[in-house]
Chain A
Amino acid sequence: MADHPMLVLRDLRKTFNPDTVMEKTALAGVDLTLNRGDFVTVIGGNGAGKSTMLNAIAGTFSVDNGGILLGGRDITHLPEHRRAAFLGRVFQDPMTGTAASMNIEENLALAFRRGQSRGLRWGISAKERALYREKLASLDLGLENRMGSKVGLLSGGQRQALTLLMATLKQPELLLLDEHTAALDPKTAEKVLRLTRHLIRENKLTALMVTHNMKDALALGNRTVMMHEGRIILDLNEEQKQHMTVEDLLAQFEKESGRELSNDRMLLT
């Protein structure tokens, strides 16, 4: 009955700009295993390797060493667009997740066909449109009445909500969220987080969420990992999370990494 874990990262290593002045070892041997249904939050200081880890999984670049297994298949050497079939992604920059010059329903149509080969079938069928309207309505942002509007007209929060919807329209095996509320104002960020939690729960998704907000990191998901200098130094399960406060977390960090966490953004939010 034990099926394979959803995600396995084995000793991932990546160095950018090797042999130059700007050389940076972003991943120094990352090992991580996610089971189906895990909702893992990832925290760490600047340059800890959080986004790099997500990008490595997505295939934005290829790793120097190590292996990535998704749903049992080895995707270490697959190009980015081929991995997209199994992944849903939301980026930090609201501009990145959608095409501003195309309208809402066209963006959704693109996401709907993720992983399929695109042929010469024309346009969007009425059935599809109805589906989109229904899904947009559940966002409660009024977007279902503006399906023909260009996405460039939407606010940052609306675009992130749309990106989130696009990422989950086709059930992904793994949802990658890269500080997706960082660029939003607190109220909108709150809304998008609520939406995130709802979608993950409803679709029983496996998700990896990078955040700079330690309170959120502890409150959301069933697992929290902390990264430092390209490695995972802390892995808290559900029970540990429940009894952990932000101060405790900081103390733990100092213990594991041997130094103080000096990132204002993480401490003050």
Chain B
Amino acid sequence: MNIAQLLNQLPGAVAQGLIWGIMAIGVYITFRILNIADLTVDGSFATGGAAAAILITSGVNPWLATLAAFLIGLLAGLVTGVFHTSMGIPAILAGILTQLALYSVNLRIQGIGTDLGSRANVPLSINKYKNMLVSLRNVGSFILENPIWLMLFITLVLIGLMYWFFGTEFGCGLRAVGANQQMARAQGINTGLADIVGLMISNGLVAFSGALMAQYQGFSDVSMGRGAIVIGLAAVIIGEVIFGRLFRNFALKMLAVTLGAIIYYLVIQVVLWLGLNTDDLKLLTALVVALFLAMPYWKSRIRTRKRKGGPAHG
């Protein structure tokens, strides 16, 4: 158990954490700001990867391909939004339905250009596409191409954009819808439209993150989004538990989400480093996340117990 080895693995965890952090910010928008549990993300994450992979392998510039993935994510969010508002389907179900549909859509997207018409896996080797935005290959070296630099830049720009957007009149309206739907309607805000826009932006970010992930790991796979919602929620909650007291500003709250994603990946890295049986990886990750989730609850219980046992005897 070599500490040097663990330190050596940190860059990988940080890089992956930053990429997932973008997805987590998307989850934060629907889950915390709009109060919707959006399960579309398991599907839209892979959709982003699929779209970017197909475009990059057709010779499109990776920057454009990644941006295109964002746009496709907007569409995915729109579908869920329409299911929810125009068809009255409860948000959770609407998300599940879209995610279900996206599985086939993703196979089709990846199958463009093949004679079968659908493909489960698209390779994106760094050897072939040298100008991809991020790659697993460069994470260990201290060079400009190290994905951590670009990811930090993208994360900061993104947080800035979100901070600006949610400070606009429209953005404030979205926040009001999540805070108090009845009141928002009484103030003339179209809550259906707000939900749709929120879902669109959120899934756009998730797909964007999926596109980056496909480039990072060197392939897009139709099952790469499985479990994404769990990672996203874990990141949001870990960020709140640890930084909730310190970070009250909206921009900092989103930074906390990103840090939450990084911490989640650090936990996985430590579990691997401890040399524990990787068969137990999921069990251990679940335990650690459960601990994080329990902390705010335990903290408040300790606080009330202290208060009860205190001045009452005075």
Report A-B touching, CB under 8 Å: yes
Contact of A102 among B165, B175, B185, B190 (CB under 8 A): B175
Whether A84 is near chain B, meaning CB under 8 Å from some CB there, is yes
Whether B172 contacts A106 by the Cβ 8 Å rule is: yes
B183 with A84: CB separation less than 8 A: no
Q: What DSSP secondary structure best describes chain A's contact surface?
A: loop
Q: Closest residue to A83 on the B side, CB-wise?
A: B188
The answer to whether B167 and A98 have CB atoms under 8 Å apart is no
Whether A102 and B176, one on each chain, are in contact in the complex, defined by CB atoms closer than 8 angstroms, is: yes
Give the distance to chain A from B27, nearest Cβ to Cβ, in Å: 18
Question: Is there a chain A Cβ closer than 8 Å to B169's Cβ?
Answer: yes
Q: In A98-137, which residues have CB < 8 Å from any B CB? A: 98-102, 106, 109-111, 113-116, 118-123
Could you say which of A84, A106, A113, A116 contacts B186, with CB atoms under 8 Å apart? A84
Are B186's CB and A85's CB within 8 A? no
Contact residues of B: prevailing secondary structure:
helix
A84-B188, A122-B164, A122-B167 are known contacts. Are A109 and B183 too (CB-CB below 8 A)?
no
Write out, one digit per residue, whether chain A residues 213-252 have a CB within 8 A of any chain B CB (1) or not (0): 0000000000000000000000000000000000000000
Return B188 CB to nearest CB of chain A, in Å: 4
The answer to whether A73 has its CB under 8 Å from any CB of chain B is no
Instruction: Say yes or no for B154: interface residue by CB 8 A criterion.
Output: no
Taking the closest CB of chain B, its distance from the CB of A172, in whole angstroms, is: 11
With A81-B189, A99-B176, A114-B187 given, is the CB distance from A120 to B170 under 8 Å? Answer: yes
- Is B5 interfacial (CB 8 A cutoff)? no
Structural contact, A81 and B179, CB atoms closer than 8 A: no
Contacting pair B167 A101 (CB below 8 A): no
Mark each residue of chain B from 172 to 194: 1 if its CB lies under 8 Å from any CB of chain A, else 0.
11011001101111111111000
By size class, the interface of chain A is 20 to 34
- Judged by a CB distance under 8 angstroms, whether B277 is at the interface is no
Whether a CB of chain B sits under 8 angstroms from the CB of A14 is no
Q: Cα distance A248–B189 when bound, in Å?
A: 44
B50 shortest CB reach to chain A, Å:
31
> Is the C-beta of A89 less than 8 angstroms from some C-beta in chain B?
yes
Interface size on B, residues (CB 8 A): 22
- Judged by a CB distance under 8 angstroms, whether A80 is at the interface is yes
Q: Is B168 an interface residue (CB 8 A)?
A: yes
Our count of residue pairs bridging A and B at CB distance below 8 angstroms stands at 79
- A84-B167 contact in complex given A102-B176, A106-B172, C-beta closer than 8 Å: no
Are A97's CB and B169's CB within 8 A? no
- Shortest A105–chain B CB gap in Å is 11
Of chain A, the residue at the smallest CB distance from B180 is A99
Give 1 or 0 for each of B198-235: 1 = CB within 8 Å of chain A CB: 00000000000000000000000000000000000000
Q: When chains A and B are docked, how far (Å) is the Cα of A25 from the Cα of B170?
A: 39
Identity of the chain A residue whose Cβ is nearest the Cβ of B191 in the assembled complex: A81
Q: Specify which chain A residues have a CB less than 8 angstroms from the CB of B187 in the assembled complex.
A: 84, 110-111, 113-114, 166
Contact: A81 with B190, CB < 8 Å? Answer: yes
* CB of B114 to closest CB in A, whole Å: 42
**Is A81's CB under 8 angstroms from B185's CB?**
yes
A111: chain B residues at CB < 8 Å are 187
A143 within 8 A of B: no
Residues on the A chain within 8 Å of B169, using CB: 109, 113, 118-121
Which of A80, A95, A98, A119 meets B185, CB within 8 Å? A80
Interface: A63 (CB within 8 A): no
Q: A81-B191, A110-B176, A122-B164 are in contact. Are A96 and B182 (CB under 8 A)?
A: yes
Chain B residue nearest in CB terms to A99? B179
User: Which chain B residue has the least Cβ–Cβ distance from A101?
Assistant: B179
Q: How far is the CA of A225 from the CA of B299 in the complex (A)?
A: 53
Closest to A85 in B: B188
The answer to whether A120 touches B188, judged by C-beta atoms less than 8 angstroms apart, is: no
Contacts of A166 in B (CB 8 A): 187
Give the docked Cα–Cα distance between A89 and B170 (Å).
21
User: Contacts A109-B172, A119-B169, A121-B169 hold; do A100 and B179 have CB atoms under 8 A apart?
Assistant: yes
Q: Which residue of B lies closest to A123 (CB)?
A: B167
Instruction: Report the bound CA distance from A114 to B188 in whole Å.
Output: 5
Q: Who on chain A is nearest to B168 by CB?
A: A120
Interchain CA distance A84-B170 in the complex, whole Å: 17
Question: Closest A-chain residue to B33, C-beta based?
Answer: A101
Asked if A58 is an interface residue, CB under 8 A from chain B, the answer is: yes
The minimal Cβ–Cβ distance linking A116 to chain B, given in whole angstroms, is 8
Contacts of B189 in A (CB 8 A): 81, 110, 118
Residues of A within 8 A of B179 (CB): 99-102
List which B146-182 residues lie within 8 A (CB) of chain A. Answer: 164-165, 167-170, 172-173, 175-176, 179-180, 182
Those 3 A-B pairs whose CB atoms lie nearest each other, nearest first? A99-B179, A84-B188, A118-B169
The 22 sampled A-B contact pairs (Cβ below 8 Å) are: A81-B189, A81-B190, A82-B188, A84-B188, A91-B182, A99-B176, A99-B179, A99-B180, A99-B183, A101-B175, A102-B176, A109-B169, A113-B187, A114-B188, A118-B168, A119-B170, A120-B165, A120-B168, A120-B170, A122-B167, A122-B168, A123-B168
Q: 8 extra interchain contacts, Cβ-Cβ under 8 A, other than A84-B185, A110-B189?
A: A80-B186, A81-B184, A84-B188, A96-B180, A102-B175, A109-B172, A113-B169, A120-B169
Binding site for A on B (CB under 8 A): 164-165, 167-170, 172-173, 175-176, 179-180, 182-191
